[in-house]
Structure 1
Amino acid sequence: MNTRMIAMTVASVAVMGLAACNNAETTEPATDAMSAEGAMAPATDTAAPAAATGTIVATAQGNSDFSTLVSAVQSAELVDTLNGAGPFTVFAPTNAAFEKVPAATRETLMSPAGKADLTKILTYHVVPGNVTAAALTEQITAGGGSATLTTVEGGTLTARAGADGSVTLTDEKGGTARVVQTDVAATNGVIHAIDTVVMPN
């Protein structure tokens, strides 16, 4: 009897030992997984708010293609306006678009004497509301091939869809710009990049 009891005790201890080992093996990966999630969670939480809290200006500042635009916005003292609640839709000229403007004209516009004209030009690139590419396409379709956009400056831009699906803007002077990138999201609106600076009357 004693021998049987000893054998049963040994067996019980062995089973408990195996169970403890199995629990340890099961628990360790779970802890590692939780640690991995814990390590990734802060990175995700940090990245998401940065994207979520980027205003029109902050988003433009984060894109090297808009560095000239950002300088112009600062010169015209429109940073606070474009950091406002909005929403705004900005047809943002790329650096290459600004390069098409004669250097002398750019210098004049960026000078204190040119501030009023610069402000007029920049606000002509801004439309009230959040007009996504899809919404703009719908407006063009509803308008029978074109849509008239009233800008913050007070003038209008005419948007049309090309045969290749691209969208062009015609300004009040007859100049055209092509939308080269759409739906760059910001917390207070959306940015569409254009390849030419549009001009108001």
Structure 2
Amino acid sequence: MAGSAAFAESHSMANPMVGGAEMFASKNIVENAVNSADHTTLVAAVKAAGLVDTLASEGPFTVFAPTNAAFDALPEGTVETLLKPENKDTLVKVLTAHVVAGKWTSADIVAQTKKSKDGFYNFNAVSGDALSAKTTPSGQVFVFDESGNAWKITTADVMQSNGVIHVINGVLLPK
């Protein structure tokens, strides 16, 4: 019992670190994301898409946040092309494919995958695109996009005042 009390105390006192920055549950998604050195591409894309006010609003939202390395893994020139003003609609579509209405913790997602006959929980992103989640036997959670790409949640349950962020190691691509 003492061990679990110490665990709870150590986790309740410290805010999670993402991209070398402390994430505060009292701040909104945008206020936290701008401080993560691992999410500068995502923040630039959110600004270019005009989604700052939306993601700073009351929500709640669940955001699957790709790292800079995830964006860097896209074919060369993809990010630069998406950030051009004439491609704003496509950029908005890609970014909103990473956002789900409501506050979905990893425990919520895992519970839904376990209820399913095939082990997949199917849900829709704000963009209208279909996403799926699957939990591996070791407890890792993967999110699948419409193209069948699967990306691992590498940091789960980064609580925000207006939702939750799950860091993922790839970019979810709508069809």
Same fold by TM-score greater than 0.5: yes
Q: Return the TM-score normalized by structure 1.
A: 0.73
Structure in which a larger fraction of residues adopt strand: 2
**1:52 offset after TM fit, Å?**
4.3
Distance 1:190 1:52, change over 3 A: closer
Q: How many residues align?
A: 152
Give structure 1 regions of 4+ aligned residues with deviation exceeding 4 angstroms. Answer: none
- Post-superposition Cα deviations, 1:47-96, rounded to whole Å, max 9, x if no partner, equal xxx93431111111122111111011001010000001100000000111
**How far, CA to CA, are the matches of 2:46 and 2:153 in structure 1?**
20
Q: 1:82 is paired with a residue of what secondary structure?
A: helix
Match of 2:38, as an amino acid?
A: D
**1:109 offset after TM fit, Å?**
0.0
Q: Return the TM-score normalized by structure 2.
A: 0.83
Q: Percent identity?
A: 44
Match of 2:99, as an amino acid?
A: V
Aligned position for 2:147? 173
Match of 1:149, as an amino acid?
A: F
Q: Root-mean-square deviation (CA), in Å?
A: 1.2
Structure in which a larger fraction of residues adopt helix: 1
Q: Give the gaps of 5 or more residues in structure 2.
A: 1-22
- Post-superposition Cα deviations, 1:24-53, rounded to whole Å, max 9, x if no partner, equal xxxxxxxxxxxxxxxxxxxxxxxxxx9343
Q: Give the gaps of 5 or more residues in structure 1.
A: 1-49
Aligned position for 2:84? 111
Where relative contact order (Cα < 8 A, 6+ residues apart) is larger, the structure is: 2
Q: Does 1:78 align with 2:46?
A: no
CA radius of gyration, larger in? 1
- Post-superposition Cα deviations, 1:153-181, rounded to whole Å, max 9, x if no partner, equal 01110100112211111111111111111
